[in-house]
Amino acid sequence: MANSRFGYVRDFEEYEKLVPYSFTVVRIDGQSFHRFSDIHQFEKPNDKRALECMNSAAKFVLEEIQDVILAFGESDEFSFLLRPQTTLYDRRKAKILTKVVSAFTSAFVYNWGRYFSTPLAYPPGFDGRTVTYPHPKHVRDYFAWRQVDTHINNLYNTTFWAIVQQGGKTEREAHKILQGTVSAEKHDILFKEYGINYNTLDDLYKKGSILVRIPPPMPEIPADGSYKDKKKIEKIRKDGIDGTRGPIEILHLDIIKDTFWNDRPWLLSQLD
Amino acid sequence: MANSRFGYVRDFEEYEKLVPYSFTVVRIDGQSFHRFSDIHQFEKPNDKRALECMNSAAKFVLEEIQDVILAFGESDEFSFLLRPQTTLYDRRKAKILTKVVSAFTSAFVYNWGRYFSTPLAYPPGFDGRTVTYPHPKHVRDYFAWRQVDTHINNLYNTTFWAIVQQGGKTEREAHKILQGTVSAEKHDILFKEYGINYNTLDDLYKKGSILVRIPPPMPEIPADGSYKDKKKIEKIRKDGIDGTRGPIEILHLDIIKDTFWNDRPWLLSQLD
Amino acid sequence: MANSRFGYVRDFEEYEKLVPYSFTVVRIDGQSFHRFSDIHQFEKPNDKRALECMNSAAKFVLEEIQDVILAFGESDEFSFLLRPQTTLYDRRKAKILTKVVSAFTSAFVYNWGRYFSTPLAYPPGFDGRTVTYPHPKHVRDYFAWRQVDTHINNLYNTTFWAIVQQGGKTEREAHKILQGTVSAEKHDILFKEYGINYNTLDDLYKKGSILVRIPPPMPEIPADGSYKDKKKIEKIRKDGIDGTRGPIEILHLDIIKDTFWNDRPWLLSQLD
Amino acid sequence: MANSRFGYVRDFEEYEKLVPYSFTVVRIDGQSFHRFSDIHQFEKPNDKRALECMNSAAKFVLEEIQDVILAFGESDEFSFLLRPQTTLYDRRKAKILTKVVSAFTSAFVYNWGRYFSTPLAYPPGFDGRTVTYPHPKHVRDYFAWRQVDTHINNLYNTTFWAIVQQGGKTEREAHKILQGTVSAEKHDILFKEYGINYNTLDDLYKKGSILVRIPPPMPEIPADGSYKDKKKIEKIRKDGIDGTRGPIEILHLDIIKDTFWNDRPWLLSQLD
């Protein structure tokens, strides 16, 4: 940027940083997505095309930012976990936050046509926030919190739309029927009145979507490897599995119990 | 959001706010736009399609957020001014910042096809930051800083590409020729060697783009107006011109001298 | 500080800064001063010794920090105004805040014996906060807010203690008598029942205490002055009156109306 | 605080909080203590009275704030560790920071006469900062960093003042002699030239001062205890040892190796 007598205005810029070695979650939410889903005639209770478009945008975020090692999405929201060790943008909060939000938004609009035959009616928006967690327990509880939310919302919505679509009730009537019901009662309504066994529904809807990398096998150092290759391979071996390398997979499974985390211990590794 | 034993993780969220009644600038910058402009074969020194696509995205930001009352763009960056009085999102910094960045990104991708016949090769990204200015002088100096930057960069780039494209020099040679030259010397090179009178070039390139609303005429209160209309009109008259209403115009003129600001005194109005 | 393999822990330190050219108020409050005033048998409704000890501590703050150009105190609280132009500690918030709180606390304890014949029973504490105001209007309103508070509290306390001390009522009875009364009624009770004309009471109690510097006369540049003196004098003349030089005076007068501020225009001067 | 039309100025106050469940260190430093130690004729290289006065002030901080569970001091600085679980002042950063700085300053001035026969020449000041550490490793490394600093400074100062006081050199000459020397060389100078075995010096100087509580024995629940006692005792037993209860001891021992921390595991306990 060119210098001039006005250049002093740069001194007003802040460089707030993420607390070193803490876990950072960036959560993004669709703005006015109730209206957005009406205009684009999303299927109820879940629109597979929309969820897959969301997942494709999240995948782009992981492709763009190596240090995002985990993502979880449901409905019109997505959460991204940054490694505590990241030095991305010198840990500047605003840069990291806007990088994630912009990449997600850009990919969502860019990929839309892959999932929908009707064009976008207008440019959709997402907002975002960062949250700092000092301890692995908080990270697990954060993702558990989102998956419990997925479950509760999906059970409600599935029952609600069965009552409306199959039961021929109005939305107002459906709300009234569901008021005060607990989970077991919703399962009952679904099964007895509409023949739907909730447990057999697609895990994409019941569990949400998890994005994580499959770590590549540790490379061997070839006896006759070039010096450069050897250096690079040694570095990879030294770093070990840190979640930043390997193909990205999209899973729909339980993130609350221990199994998911025990299978991927690097996700909660906090120190160098 | 559903409650559960994990809900405590919400307590880690921060709600940092913009300083009340201070001016806030949100500046966004294209990420890796050097590579982006190469891949999409932008014309040198300026690609009119790209600038117009940027302007269309900025216009969408003003349409989405009434309290953004001024924007200035050049190259791959745009700056947005929020009214000091805004109560948008209770002045939460992260929400406002990401709203602007996401709206801009979304519209840029959405509008691309209007300006370019070749499709986007991949989803482009923008990062953003907020800067707080307590005094109108800083706001004027901020926008002056960006327009001086526009001028300096454009004069350099125009001369550089004339030397390369018309003079048949390599880029390395062109850099060397320009090293240490002052403005007058660049004007001379342009005019004497390439017959280009810099002053006659398009103001879009020389001045950048300003987005601002044309305030609507103050409405009359009709003698027989319905109560509701009268209320609404009275409110508009009471608020006066505050930059939030009226059609958006895109200008390419001097934002450094007094005229621009004297003609639009509401832009620097700081109190209720 | 010595370097070692542990030195990396410094990287966790933040350097949050005050917004440039904004007004900053540091307000300090006594901690548990209800108990403190009981133990040290403060006179009711006002203890002149305590207020003067507070004022002496505030004076020390102004002596220590040139860029504190105004202070206002009442009861167990004091507010300090920093010039928007200050570069103290590179405007680091925590340093400035703790400097003021520590200087005040230290001087309060140090000066105690000058005002009280009984020794301090234990070390008293004060907490503090910074508040940022972008516009002179907010600064005036801030100090007006504190002086209105002074007036309301003092009128209540004066009436309350008259009822208790002269009227022989219990504190509970006095509270009940005053419940729901407006100012005029309190004036009436004071005058008619206890012969106290509120308006003739000491302004120290009614208005609180203002600390501000009397600017020295602008020095003349002597025809035969040494080069060094001339330089120094030229600098003082160039800076003009900025509130940082001259003897400190303690005033008890109206800070809400225009007069106080019109007489000292430099207090609200915001730019260089 | 009384309401008035000026009350809106409160909305400018921020309530920045410490990151939940992270460790917080508050470090305070004497301001201009070089000058302060000259004026009060501190003994060189260490003044036992001054260090004990510092320690007494730190002890007062622990007495005032239960959730400060560890302190380390040397020279004119002290570091205080807050439990990650603290809910003090709703974790508001400025309140906690100023509470510590004010309590320390107040007690230092209050206690001065206990350690010095000459009165304080003026009120001394301390500044402070908070630092956030997400992981127990950082906490250990922070305190190790300070104790390494204590050692390096004390070895230097001890040798420096031996050269000056016993060797009759000027301070300038002493600095020159020590320039570039490593630890072993300083030990040698001390022992061979001045007969001082550094290792036999007072640990107060070599190790600094650690303040920590001796946890009380877990109370028994009496068979015939009153309901209230039983409740209280049950609560204490449930909380276990958390470092907030018991008499404060002042230690001068190694805080870098494992022993200190292994003996007091509650100091690094991070969750409920």
Domains annotated for chain C, with CATH where assigned, are: 14-258 (3.30.70.3000)
pLDDT of residue A193: 96
* Chain B residues whose beta carbon lies within 8 Å of the beta carbon of residue C137: 271
Q: How far is D12 from chain B (nearest CA, A)?
A: 6
Best residue of A131, A135, A137 to probe chain D, by most D CBs closer than 10 Å: A135
Minimum Cα–Cα distance from B12: chain D residue: D20
Q: How far is C148 from chain D (nearest CA, A)?
A: 7
A&D contacts, CB < 8 Å = 33
Q: What percent of chain D has pLDDT over 90?
A: 89
Kindly state whether D14 is in contact with chain B, defined as any CB-CB distance less than 8 angstroms: yes
pLDDT of residue C257: 97
> Angle at which helices A93-115 and A48-64 pack, to 10 degrees?
140
Kindly state whether C11 is in contact with chain D, defined as any CB-CB distance less than 8 angstroms: no
The three-state (H, E, C) secondary structure of A116-143, written as one string: CCCCCCCCCCEEEEEEEECCHHHHHHHH
Going from the C-alpha of D98 to that of each of B245, D87, D117, D127, the distances in angstroms are 46, 16, 29, 9
Minimum Cα–Cα distance from C138: chain D residue: D9
Kindly state whether D165 is in contact with chain A, defined as any CB-CB distance less than 8 angstroms: no
- Strand, helix or coil at A262? helix
- The C-alpha R_g of chain A, in whole angstroms, comes to 22
Kindly state whether A121 is in contact with chain B, defined as any CB-CB distance less than 8 angstroms: no
> What gap in Å lies between CA D1 and CA A14, rounded to an integer?
33
pLDDT of residue D2: 53
Query: Residue C2: which pLDDT band, with cuts at 50, 70 and 90?
Result: low
> What gap in Å lies between CA B82 and CA B139, rounded to an integer?
11
Q: How far is D20 from chain A (nearest CA, A)?
A: 8
Query: Residue C37: which pLDDT band, with cuts at 50, 70 and 90?
Result: very high
Nearest residue, CB atoms, D12 vs list B12, B16, B20:
B20
Model confidence at C1: pLDDT above 60: no
Q: Which amino acid is present at C245?
A: R
Best residue of D22, D130, D269 to probe chain A, by most A CBs closer than 10 Å: D22
Cβ distance A98 to B99 less than 8 Å, yes or no, reads no
Please answer whether residues C131 and C27 qualify as being in contact, where contact means their C-beta atoms are separated by less than 8 angstroms. yes
* Chain A residues whose beta carbon lies within 8 Å of the beta carbon of residue D84: 134
| Bigger pLDDT: C252 vs D234 | C252
Kindly state whether C137 is in contact with chain B, defined as any CB-CB distance less than 8 angstroms: yes
Structure tokens at C127: 């907490």
Regions in chain A scoring below 50 on pLDDT: none
Please answer whether residues C231 and C222 qualify as being in contact, where contact means their C-beta atoms are separated by less than 8 angstroms. no
Task: Establish whether C224 is an annotated binding residue.
Answer: no
Q: How far is C18 from chain A (nearest CA, A)?
A: 9
Cα angle A91, D127, D88 (rounded to 5 degrees) comes to 70
> Angle at which helices D48-64 and D93-115 pack, to 10 degrees?
140
pLDDT of residue D3: 64
Regions in chain D scoring below 50 on pLDDT: none
Q: Which amino acid is present at A228?
A: K
Query: Residue C206: which pLDDT band, with cuts at 50, 70 and 90?
Result: very high
Regions in chain B scoring below 50 on pLDDT: none
CA atoms within 13 A on the CB side of D200: 5
Task: Establish whether D246 is an annotated binding residue.
Answer: no
Best residue of A10, A11, A91, A270 to probe chain C, by most C CBs closer than 10 Å: A11
Cβ distance D21 to A271 less than 8 Å, yes or no, reads no
Q: Which residues pair with A128 in a beta bridge?
A: A28
Residues 198-237 of chain D whose Cβ lies under 8 A from any Cβ of chain C: none
Chains interfacing with A (3 or more CB pairs < 8 Å): B, C, D
> What gap in Å lies between CA C182 and CA C184, rounded to an integer?
6
Structure tokens at D39: 């004026």
- Tell how many helices (H) and how many strands (E) occur in chain B: 10, 6
Q: How far is B113 from chain C (nearest CA, A)?
A: 42
- Strand, helix or coil at D107? helix
pLDDT of residue D272: 85
Structure tokens at B25: 């600038």
Task: Establish whether D33 is an annotated binding residue.
Answer: yes
Best residue of A17, A18, A19 to probe chain D, by most D CBs closer than 10 Å: A19
Nearest residue, CB atoms, C132 vs list B19, B138, B270:
B19
Going from the C-alpha of B115 to that of each of B42, B111, C54, C270, the distances in angstroms are 12, 7, 69, 46
Q: How far is D163 from chain C (nearest CA, A)?
A: 22
Among A68-77, A233-242, C95-104, C204-213, the minimum mean pLDDT is found in A233-242
Torsion angle (degrees, nearest 10) of CA C233, C237, C240, C242: -10
pLDDT of residue D39: 98
Q: How far is D214 from chain B (nearest CA, A)?
A: 32
Going from the C-alpha of C101 to that of each of A160, B122, B207, B215, D94, the distances in angstroms are 59, 55, 50, 49, 11
* Chain C residues whose beta carbon lies within 8 Å of the beta carbon of residue A14: 17
Nearest residue, CB atoms, B12 vs list D12, D16, D20:
D20
Chains interfacing with D (3 or more CB pairs < 8 Å): A, B, C
Residues 53-72 of chain C whose Cβ lies under 8 A from any Cβ of chain D: 60, 64
Among the listed residues B56, B54, B36, B125, the one whose alpha carbon sits nearest the alpha carbon of residue A105: B125
